[in-house]
Chains A and B, each alone.
Chain A
Amino acid sequence: MKSFVFPEFQIIRDEEKCGQCRGCERQCAFGTHRYDPVQDRLISDEYKCAGCQRCVVFCPKDAIIVRPTPSFYRPNASWSREKLEDLKKQAETGGVILTGCGNDKPFRIYWDHIVLNASQVTNPSIDPLREPMELRTFLGSKPDLIDMKAKNGDVEIETKIGPNLMVETPILFSAMSYGAISYNAFRSLATAACKSGTFFNTGEGGLPKEMRDEFGKCAIVQVASGRFGIDAEYLNCAAAVEIKVGQGAKPGIGGHLPGEKVSPAVAATRMIPAGTDAISPAPHHDIYSIEDLSMLIYALKEATNYEKPISVKIAAVHNFAAIASGIVRAGADIIAIDGLRGGTGAAPKVIRDNVGIPIELAISSLDQRLRNEGIRNRASIIAAGGIRCSADVIKAIALGADAVYIGSAALIAMGCNLCQKCYTGKCNWGICTQDPRLSGRLNIEIASQRLSNLIHAWSHEISEMLGGMGINALESLRGNRDHLRGIGLYEWELEVLGIKGAGE
């Protein structure tokens, strides 16, 4: 039956420039381009185009332009093009609409309504090229105060400090599992994390055995509701363990890796039969309450001999701050919160676009909550979901986060253009696919260098902004909302963010 849905993208080929090399045809896994030998020209099927821009970038003659089609519909503020077409798709298929990446709806992006401070006169700004500028951060539980014995100048620390992760810059790679992303993408993240003095998160798909020796020390391994790939070695080779309760892109629901993506290598890592669907249930079936979570936290601490911090990742939802405070009291050393704009490899669109709260508000309310309860030192906060640039990082830290996770930003550094077709397994950039023909396109050396460059560039920019504020250690900015001002925000928003309005 003829679909009533219009193509999303328009493909314009400059026939003058096109050399009929058929490069575009080979690049596109969706089968958009086809060579017609009779006409000796390439024909594009716009209905298949995902808008990933792969053919555009790799056309040796720069002969292709792919751009969103203008809307064909009568303008209607209520029935937007997206609403109409989603509805048509469902009328045609009767299914749930899937999507990838993060929420793309115009919810207020608070980062863009917050401005930073700088020193003028009374407090010299510091030049990070001449003066030390310290971004080193420790993630984990810190004691309230330390007991020390000091006798005649001899000092002995009597308090035992729990395990902490040391990062040279407060940017970590967010959880992206092997299986969802390709081996090359996964390994690029691991390589870049080790090189840049930070950590990558394995996601719930396990850590391939051959990577454990080399990359375990900069891995945060995840324990999620599917319990894929978990054994004692997996837990103990890592720097930290994260229990995944929720994800910002799809709070409240589980995951589903289709059997097509479960290659023999993915299957071995996940410890499931090849070709079977890997289903992560919505809840952990051994966590139906906070006391159950506490038992899992301590089970993992026992399994790792209390040598590794245990993180709990939750999605930012309406009353998450109270829940997070319970999680800290349940023994978690790190709380990772994932906001409304967090990404995913596959999620029902209606969930991605409508569930959760923005990360900026979440950071602020969680930090405030833990401070009010006097337990802020007992856990570190890692914020995730919608961090796009170094300014977002520094604002997150000033709002109270200890560090951030970046997911989409890391993928974009490797080549992703946020076409949102991750769930198809046909990623032309070789990132979100298990097709060896596609994943081979991602060169580990180049991709990891691009990721390291990104971390380096952001760290440098953070240093510049920090120096401008007259601060030379990141810990002096943490929760220091005096350095933030809001613009164009309502009073309640300023209140939740705990910041003054610009000019106040």
Chain B
Amino acid sequence: MVRKRRARRPLYSKEICACSIFGAMNREGERFTGEGVIKAIANMHVRGNGLGGGFAAYGIYPEYKDYYALHLMFTGRSWEDKRSAKQDFDAFLCENFDVVYDEEIPHGDETTVSDPPLVWRYFAMPNKRGEESRLSDEDYVVSKVMWVNTKIENAYVFSSGKNMGCFKGVGYPEEIGEYFMLDRLYRAYTWTVHGRFPTNTQAWWGGAHPFSLLDTTVVHNGEISSYGTNRWYLEMYGYACTLQTDTEVIAYAADLLMRRQHLPIEIAAKILAPPIWNSIDRMNETEKKLLTTLRMVYGPLLMNGPFSIIIGQTGKMIGLTDRIRLRPLTAATRGDMFYLSSEEASIRLISPELDCVWTPNGGEPVVGELKSIRMVKDEVIRLS
């Protein structure tokens, strides 16, 4: 018998990219169209190379806010491939979810973008049975998303939260925004945007940012050198890394730490970008104990290498850079608006007057929450 060795050895690939990221949030929860953020990201056109752009928008489906909004991408060379992927997925969905509404995501002229997949959205509730009825809704959805992404060929769930959605594809972000008509059809209280400059993976629609799981989305500028370590650790907890990119590990790490572990962002940030040992050794005993424990236990989740990220969650927008701050991030506020951007110029473009502009320190998260904003510094973590 001939053994197919080639197929048995998994060849993981990791994306390397430079990028532009932008986020805008209205802390009063007032919703606004994607027009401004498209303009802002277009201003950082040269930070991308037209091989990926994407948006995450929070608060866009108020009429279906109690249902999981699943955004699906059906890829393939031919229309038949896409159709058959959709049929496979539909069959799976009917068995595992109650769908209240579904439609193709409205889009513009297909000739304006390269090789678009069939993009569909479903509003659904989990239909848990047997063993699985013990799972929480969220764990159930996560396990089904992982199942679809690893098992159904050519079908990718790229957005799975409530009252939010991701839109992404191959092209400059302003082209993707136009393709999905984000400036006209949707109003969100938080928008995060990404323009991509991949250097090693072939462009495909699933590889664009944001990456998301449930309502957590991540847009990322950088390269995660610790990807291999992060991946095996997350795989131990049931996260399948399938999208051929390092950014998804951040989304999964955020899900593991913040949703499943209920850790506050201040602690999660200390896991993703911990202080150096020299600093920890100089802290008081309780802080030292906490941070030493975090590094001991969660060392494999340290995100090493240069990054700046914007994490979106329901009611929250978080900015974070790596601990030695090798990628840019600027934060700003104006009235109820809170902005994060790779470059200050993009913020100034849509809001020339700002109340406050600052550059967050490496490893220190900036958290915007609905009706509040706080700058989290080391001292803020109090210990009992």
Cross-chain contact A480 with B297 (CB below 8 angstroms): no
Picked from B229, B293, B383, the residue with its CB within 8 Å of the CB of A161 is B293
Picked from A161, A476, A491, the residue with its CB within 8 Å of the CB of B225 is A476
Cross-chain contact A470 with B229 (CB below 8 angstroms): no
In the assembled complex, 17 residue pairs joining A and B whose CB atoms fall closer than 8 Å, in A order, are: A123-B225, A131-B324, A132-B276, A132-B277, A146-B293, A146-B298, A150-B267, A155-B382, A156-B383, A157-B293, A161-B297, A470-B225, A471-B225, A476-B305, A479-B300, A494-B9, A500-B11
With A376-B232, A470-B305 known as contacts, the answer to whether A492 contacts B5 (CB < 8 A) is: yes
Q: Is B17 positioned at the interface, with any CB of A under 8 Å from its CB? A: yes
Q: Is A154 positioned at the interface, with any CB of B under 8 Å from its CB? A: yes
Q: How far is the CB of A139 from chain B (nearest CB, A)?
A: 10
8 A Cβ contacts from A135-191 to B: 136, 138, 142-143, 145-146, 148, 150, 152-157, 161, 164
Q: Is A260 positioned at the interface, with any CB of B under 8 Å from its CB? A: no
Instruction: Flag B225-237 by CB within 8 Å of A: 1 or 0 each.
Output: 1111100100111
What are the 10 A-B residue pairs with the smallest beta carbon separation, nearest first? A476-B226, A480-B228, A475-B299, A476-B304, A482-B228, A123-B223, A480-B229, A495-B9, A470-B225, A132-B276
Cross-chain contact B266 with A153 (CB below 8 angstroms): yes
| Chain B residue, CB-CB nearest to A499 | B9
With A146-B297, A150-B263, A371-B235 known as contacts, the answer to whether A504 contacts B228 (CB < 8 A) is: no
Q: How far is the CB of B284 from chain A (nearest CB, A)?
A: 14
Q: Is A461 positioned at the interface, with any CB of B under 8 Å from its CB? A: no
Alpha-carbon distance between A473 and B295 when the two chains are bound, in angstroms: 11
With contacts A146-B298, A150-B262 known, what are 6 further pairs, Cβ within 8 A? A136-B277, A138-B299, A153-B266, A482-B228, A491-B5, A495-B9
Picked from B236, B276, B324, B384, the residue with its CB within 8 Å of the CB of A371 is B236
Cross-chain contact A495 with B296 (CB below 8 angstroms): no
Cross-chain contact B8 with A154 (CB below 8 angstroms): no
Q: Is A85 positioned at the interface, with any CB of B under 8 Å from its CB? A: no
Cross-chain contact B383 with A164 (CB below 8 angstroms): no
With A153-B380, A374-B236 known as contacts, the answer to whether A123 contacts B16 (CB < 8 A) is: yes
Cross-chain contact B383 with A155 (CB below 8 angstroms): yes
| Chain B residue, CB-CB nearest to A131 | B324
Q: How far is the CB of B11 from chain A (nearest CB, A)?
A: 6
A154 CB contacts on chain B under 8 angstroms: 382-384
Cross-chain contact B384 with A470 (CB below 8 angstroms): no
Picked from B17, B260, B304, B382, the residue with its CB within 8 Å of the CB of A472 is B304
B111 CB contacts on chain A under 8 angstroms: none
Cross-chain contact A475 with B9 (CB below 8 angstroms): no
Picked from A132, A148, A377, A482, the residue with its CB within 8 Å of the CB of B278 is A132
Tell me the B residues contacting A by CB distance below 8 Å. 5-6, 8-9, 11-12, 14, 16-18, 199, 222-223, 225-229, 232, 235-237, 260-264, 266-267, 276-278, 289-290, 293-300, 302, 304-306, 323-324, 326, 380-384
Q: How far is the CB of A226 from chain B (nearest CB, A)?
A: 34
B14 CB contacts on chain A under 8 angstroms: 482
With A123-B305, A154-B383 known as contacts, the answer to whether A143 contacts B297 (CB < 8 A) is: yes
B17 CB contacts on chain A under 8 angstroms: 122
A152 CB contacts on chain B under 8 angstroms: 382
| Chain A residue, CB-CB nearest to B14 | A482
Q: How far is the CB of B228 from chain A (nearest CB, A)?
A: 3
Q: Is A469 positioned at the interface, with any CB of B under 8 Å from its CB? A: yes
| Chain A residue, CB-CB nearest to B299 | A475
Alpha-carbon distance between A451 and B253 when the two chains are bound, in angstroms: 40
Alpha-carbon distance between A469 and B223 when the two chains are bound, in angstroms: 11
| Chain A residue, CB-CB nearest to B235 | A371
A136 CB contacts on chain B under 8 angstroms: 277
| Chain A residue, CB-CB nearest to B383 | A155
| Chain B residue, CB-CB nearest to A161 | B293
Q: Is A483 positioned at the interface, with any CB of B under 8 Å from its CB? A: yes
A477 CB contacts on chain B under 8 angstroms: 226, 229
Cross-chain contact A145 with B306 (CB below 8 angstroms): no
Cross-chain contact A472 with B296 (CB below 8 angstroms): no
Alpha-carbon distance between A150 and B295 when the two chains are bound, in angstroms: 18
What number of A residues sit within 8 Å (CB to CB) of B? 49
8 A Cβ contacts from A390-449 to B: none
Cross-chain contact B223 with A471 (CB below 8 angstroms): no
Q: Is A134 positioned at the interface, with any CB of B under 8 Å from its CB? A: yes
Q: Is A124 positioned at the interface, with any CB of B under 8 Å from its CB? A: yes
Q: Is A301 positioned at the interface, with any CB of B under 8 Å from its CB? A: no
With A472-B324, A480-B229 known as contacts, the answer to whether A376 contacts B276 (CB < 8 A) is: no
B380 CB contacts on chain A under 8 angstroms: 153
Q: How far is the CB of A481 from chain B (nearest CB, A)?
A: 5
With A155-B267, A472-B324, A491-B6 known as contacts, the answer to whether A479 contacts B232 (CB < 8 A) is: yes
Cross-chain contact B290 with A155 (CB below 8 angstroms): yes
Alpha-carbon distance between A483 and B263 when the two chains are bound, in angstroms: 31
B225 CB contacts on chain A under 8 angstroms: 119, 123, 469-471, 476, 480, 483
A131 CB contacts on chain B under 8 angstroms: 324
With A161-B293, A471-B305, A473-B302 known as contacts, the answer to whether A495 contacts B229 (CB < 8 A) is: no
A371 CB contacts on chain B under 8 angstroms: 232, 235-236
A153 CB contacts on chain B under 8 angstroms: 264, 266, 380-382
A369 CB contacts on chain B under 8 angstroms: none
A471 CB contacts on chain B under 8 angstroms: 225-226, 304-305
Picked from B12, B229, B237, B323, the residue with its CB within 8 Å of the CB of A478 is B229
Cross-chain contact A481 with B304 (CB below 8 angstroms): no
A134 CB contacts on chain B under 8 angstroms: 276-277
A492 CB contacts on chain B under 8 angstroms: 5
B11 CB contacts on chain A under 8 angstroms: 500, 504
Q: How far is the CB of B127 from chain A (nearest CB, A)?
A: 28
Cross-chain contact B223 with A164 (CB below 8 angstroms): no
A476 CB contacts on chain B under 8 angstroms: 225-226, 229, 299, 302, 304-305
Alpha-carbon distance between A481 and B323 when the two chains are bound, in angstroms: 23
| Chain B residue, CB-CB nearest to A496 | B9
Q: How far is the CB of A463 from chain B (nearest CB, A)?
A: 13
| Chain A residue, CB-CB nearest to B294 | A146
B290 CB contacts on chain A under 8 angstroms: 155, 157
Cross-chain contact A122 with B324 (CB below 8 angstroms): no
Alpha-carbon distance between A466 and B281 when the two chains are bound, in angstroms: 22
Alpha-carbon distance between A14 and B272 when the two chains are bound, in angstroms: 65
Cross-chain contact A142 with B383 (CB below 8 angstroms): no
Cross-chain contact A475 with B326 (CB below 8 angstroms): no
Cross-chain contact A478 with B300 (CB below 8 angstroms): yes
| Chain A residue, CB-CB nearest to B276 | A132
